[in-house]
Amino acid sequence: MKVIVAHAAKDLRIEERDTPTPGPGQVLIKMAAGGICGSDLHYYNHGGFGAIRLREPMILGHEVSGHVSGLGDGVEDLAIGDLVSVSPSRPCMSCSYCAEGKQNHCLNMRFYGSAMPFPHIQGAFREYIVADVAQCAPAGDLSVGEAAMAEPLAVVLHAARQAGDLMGKRVLVTGCGPIGLLAVLVARAAGAVEVAATDISDFTLAKAREVGADTTVNIAQAPDGLQRFEADKGHFDTLFECSGVASALASAVPAMRPGSTIVQLGLGGDMTLPMQAMTAKELQLKGSFRFHAEFFTAVDMMRTARLDVRPLITHVMNVDDAVTAFESAGDRTQAIKVNIAF
């Protein structure tokens, strides 16, 4: 079977591996679609991000869907041919954090396509993968591309949980990549009365308006574009910071109301924060890292048409064109979510 392997920055290879066999309580999945994530792009472009570096070849990918093609012993809830969204989150369920219900902080996490531990946890960009039944969410009549969007949507649903009640709130989103655009969708679904978004690309900002943003600001063209929201100590109740860029957060702080909440989703290395301004406004800064139970909520929300992620899927490319797919995924002037078709 074909797999997509990162050896180093800009060294992406299509390689052949043996097709695995499912064990008890497992299923063999014939991959259908895999979405290229920001972390995949960091591995491809830079060989890692922050202190996390590739130290051995690693199969990339963790946003995937596919059809069940083999059943291990004891599997009763799935059938051959079922389309499933596959959660990349595989906590040990026995460490202290798992016992506390904080599975996203599992001490022995096996998250697809992660160079955090060594040996690295190999990813899911492969033609066939064996998964535990507990990882598989039946996707019903969703398209394979929608089913692969469960993982990034789960990331944002976890962030929304960190933010708290959004009903009637004014929400600002900085960074309109896939995560930022999903934050716009989720904020709207959660009852936000106003959503504004910033980015440096007119293409992504147009997409933000398409999925529900009331106001968009290209901060590359108008660096002071948020100034109109600074009167009376600020306007917004919640910030989803999705860029991982320190200047994006710093420029947003004056537009935040006293006591408002900043949820940091973007990962781009260490950031220098305007701590004194944040302290004076009594802002709450909350991190948001991965997800667990929200994965199945994400699939349910898509299946019941509570959220429509289809506008975010801008490209679908064949596995043999993986390098072109990765190059396209990094171009925010023309792509949002690039899916690889297996």
- Average pLDDT score over residue span 128-137: 97
Tokens 């290395």 correspond to: 269
Query: Percent of the chain scored above 70 by pLDDT?
Result: 100
Whether 303 and 139 have beta carbons less than 8 Å apart is answered as yes
pLDDT at site 58 = 98
Q: Which domains does the chain have, with CATH numbers?
A: 2-149+309-341 (3.90.180.10), 154-287 (3.40.50.720)
- Average pLDDT score over residue span 110-116: 95
pLDDT at site 270 = 79
**What distance in Å separates the CA atoms of residue 102 and residue 80, rounded to the nearest whole number?**
32
- Average pLDDT score over residue span 292-321: 97
Query: Percent of the chain scored above 90 by pLDDT?
Result: 96
Whether 14 and 4 have beta carbons less than 8 Å apart is answered as yes
Whether 199 and 218 have beta carbons less than 8 Å apart is answered as yes
pLDDT at site 267 = 81
**What distance in Å separates the CA atoms of residue 342 and residue 319, rounded to the nearest whole number?**
6
pLDDT at site 49 = 86
- Average pLDDT score over residue span 273-295: 95
Return mean pLDDT, the chain. 96
pLDDT at site 342 = 93
- Average pLDDT score over residue span 305-330: 96
The distance from CA 217 to its chain's CA centroid, rounded to whole angstroms, is 22
pLDDT at site 50 = 82
pLDDT at site 2 = 97
| pLDDT bracket for residue 187 (50, 70, 90) | very high
| pLDDT bracket for residue 277 (50, 70, 90) | very high
Residue 149's Cβ-count burial label (10 Å; 0-12, 13-18, 19+) is buried
Three-class SS of the chain: CEEEEEEECCEEEEEECCCCCCCCCEEEEEEEEEECCHHHHHHHHHCEECCEECCCCEECCCEEEEEEEEECCCCCCCCCCCEEEECCCCCCCCCHHHHCCCHHHCCCCCCCCECCCCCCECCCCECEEEEEHHHEEECCCCCHHHHHCHHHHHHHHHHHHHHCCCCCCEEEEECCCHHHHHHHHHHHHCCCCEEEEEECCHHHHHHHHHCCCCEEEECCCCCCCCHHHCHHHCCEEEEEECCCCHHHHHHHHHHEEEEEEEEECCCCCCCCCCHHHHHHCCCEEEECCCCCCHHHHHHHHHHCCCCCCHHHEEEEEEHHHHHHHHHHHCCCCCCCEEEEEC
Whether 240 and 171 have beta carbons less than 8 Å apart is answered as yes
Do the strands 2-8 and 58-59 form a parallel or antiparallel pair, or are they unpaired? antiparallel
Is 269's pLDDT higher than 80?
A: no
pLDDT at site 165 = 97
pLDDT at site 80 = 98
Closest CA to 186 of 40, 306, 269, 19: 306
Is 213's pLDDT higher than 80?
A: yes
pLDDT at site 237 = 98
Q: What is the pLDDT of residues 133-173, one digit of tens each?
A: 999 999 999 999 999 999 999 999 999 999 999 999 999 99
Q: What is the pLDDT of residues 45-59, one digit of tens each?
A: 999 988 899 999 999
Closest CA to 36 of 64, 15, 9, 1: 64
**What distance in Å separates the CA atoms of residue 150 and residue 106, rounded to the nearest whole number?**
20
Is 268's pLDDT higher than 80?
A: no
Q: What is the pLDDT of residues 67-106, one digit of tens each?
A: 999 999 999 999 999 999 999 999 999 999 999 999 999 9
Closest CA to 310 of 151, 149, 176: 149
pLDDT at site 188 = 97
- Average pLDDT score over residue span 223-238: 97
**What distance in Å separates the CA atoms of residue 185 and residue 179, rounded to the nearest whole number?**
10
pLDDT at site 272 = 86
